Amino acid sequence: MHMAKSPDIGLGQTILKRAEMSPLERAITFEGHSLTYDQLSLRVRKISAVLKDMDINKGDRVGYIGLNHPSFLEVLYACGCLGAIFVPINFRLTGSEIRFIANDAGLKVMFADQTMTSLVDDERSNLQCGRYLSVESKASNWEFFPELIDNKDPLEHFGQISADDIALIMYTSGTTGLPKGAMLTHGNLFWNAVNVAFSENNMQTATLTCAPLFHIGGLNVTTLISLACGIEVILHRNFEPGQVLKDLEKYRVSTMFGAPTMFLLMSQHENFATTDLSHILSVTVGGAPVPVPLIETYGARGISFCQGYGLTETAPYASILASHLASEKIGSAGRSPLYTDICIVDSENKPLSAGERGEVCIRGPNVMKGYWNRPEATAEVIDENGWFHSGDIGYLDEDGFLYLCDRLKDMIISGGENVYPAEVENILYAHEAIFEVAIIGQPDPKWGEAVVAVVVLQPDADLQLEGLRNFASSQLARFKLPTRLYFVDVLPRNPAGKVQKFVLRKQLVQ
């Protein structure tokens, strides 16, 4: 008897099949140059052949560090075809942070663009990586990726990928200071796409991607979903408000994803009022709640925000607030999508009723497999019933809409980037002028939250903000460096000796 095999929902297979369906449609447009789906498919199959020649097989890890570029997506899809695991690395990190991730993931190959090759070179003697490929410009000691692809015969046959196979490891900064790699499977990415498709489908003409692809938001809120649907992605190397406005009009884009800061900077640009935005269905925003004045500014241009809440570990959508509810449910992160559930629990893991605050937990096929090589950390966040414990505090209203109140872990979100105070504090404690330090977030009109250092000085010591930033700049990415500095005589602590950051926040507001 013939048994029907389950469909291959792997990333690689998806894009190859899409190319069969939409061969001549434009897939990716980057800096004036477009690739059709057919051309993209050919490149993906050639890259798969290049990787196979490098002995990259199922389960092997392939790293990529650089600004947004078509190669990022092509290598991701090629890894998907082979069952290899793609590891995107935040290009804002320092050498020591990159070294930790590369060695923790056990990368066999590292791809980098011209902005990152020298930083990787500085760490090479500490890396276990075997091959280094430069994606755009030639660099000494780097293989030139475009030349390797040029004369390669495309790979024709691939093995079956199962939904539970790991597609990518995405590193998320740890509260203890060391980042953890969230293992996202092909199934996680697929079910996130299904959840979005059955919620608000604003990807219809073209999608603009200017948020970094190494973030789950930049990669999987609109980009991968649009490409699977046969919709053109206008890819920007990085975010530049004037260029974004120009291309929204030029390519008649129907949506883009960004952090609130990005939409604020666009609204402040001199061309905002004169840019034709009539084809935008809604814009998708994440990373922080959208301030009401910003909702009103875009509303006056006929544009609504589709807001959501999610994490790297949930691929990312845990909840979606449909754009038509943006002004009715101000401050809400929305409801859980079709195939994902949310509950709020107390400290004993007991469910709470509407209006009661507790930890936000998420369950569904979009929840990660776990943290790479960290079974204990995985067990801490995914309970025996499959609920992922987010570390965020929130409540559900009577209609099941989620509202976020605070973060158990005091995480700061600055310009859409997660900053974990413990990581910053560990570095700053080494400064000779500092006796004690606490890092907290303060509201900031541009970045959402500012990184604030509250310091108890050593006797007779002196400290300036600039000196503090210079001290930490070699070990911390720029977005993690404090932008404000306050001095106190003593840090408030609870009876167990833990710093009470909520007390500090209150003190600094007065």
Q: Rounded CA gap, 456 and 387, in Å?
A: 40
Structure tokens at 352: 């709470």
Does residue 355 form part of some domain? no
Query: Reduced to 3 states, what is the DSSP secondary structure of residue 151?
Result: coil
Beta strands of 77-165 (E only): which ranges?
85-89, 107-112, 131-134, 143-144
Which residues have CB under 8 Å from 407's CB, separation 6+? Answer: 391, 392, 393
pTM: 0.88
Q: What is the pLDDT of residue 426?
A: 81
Transcribe 395-425 into DSSP letters.
Answer: EE-TTS-EEEEEETT--EEETTEEE-HHHHH
Structural domain that includes position 494: 412-509
Q: What is the pLDDT of residue 3?
A: 61
Does residue 208 form part of some domain? no
Does residue 486 form part of some domain? yes
Number of domains present in the structure of the chain: 2
Nearest alpha-carbon partner for 394 in 309, 473, 313: 309
Contact criterion met (CB below 8 Å) for 306 and 286:
no
**CATH value at residue 126:** 3.40.50.12780
Of 140, 162, 184, the last residue of a domain is 162
Residue 391's H or E segment, with its range, is strand 388-396
Of 146, 162, 178, the last residue of a domain is 162
Does residue 271 form part of some domain? no
Does residue 18 form part of some domain? yes
Task: Give start and end residues of each alpha helix (H) in 116-175.
Answer: 117-123, 145-150
Q: Rounded CA gap, 491 and 366, in Å?
A: 40
Query: Reduced to 3 states, what is the DSSP secondary structure of residue 412?
Result: strand
Under DSSP, the state recorded for 420 is: -
Does residue 386 form part of some domain? no
Question: Could you tell me which residues are beta bridge partners of residue 34?
Answer: 29
Ordered mean pLDDT values, 10 residues apiece, the chain (510 residues) = 77 97 98 98 98 98 98 98 98 92 98 97 96 96 97 94 97 73 98 94 95 96 97 98 98 95 94 97 87 90 94 96 87 95 95 94 98 96 96 93 79 85 85 92 91 95 96 94 95 74 82
How many C-beta neighbours within 10 Å does residue 119 have?
Answer: 15
Which residues have CB under 8 Å from 445's CB, separation 6+? Answer: 264
Of 138, 162, 186, the last residue of a domain is 162
Specify the pairing of strand 26-30 against strand 33-36.
antiparallel
Q: What is the pLDDT of residue 1?
A: 58
Does residue 291 form part of some domain? no
The single residue listed with the structure tokens 């949930």 is: 314
Q: Rounded CA gap, 439 and 173, in Å?
A: 15
The single residue listed with the structure tokens 């790297």 is: 312
Q: What is the pLDDT of residue 507?
A: 86
**CATH value at residue 458:** 3.30.300.30
Does residue 28 form part of some domain? yes
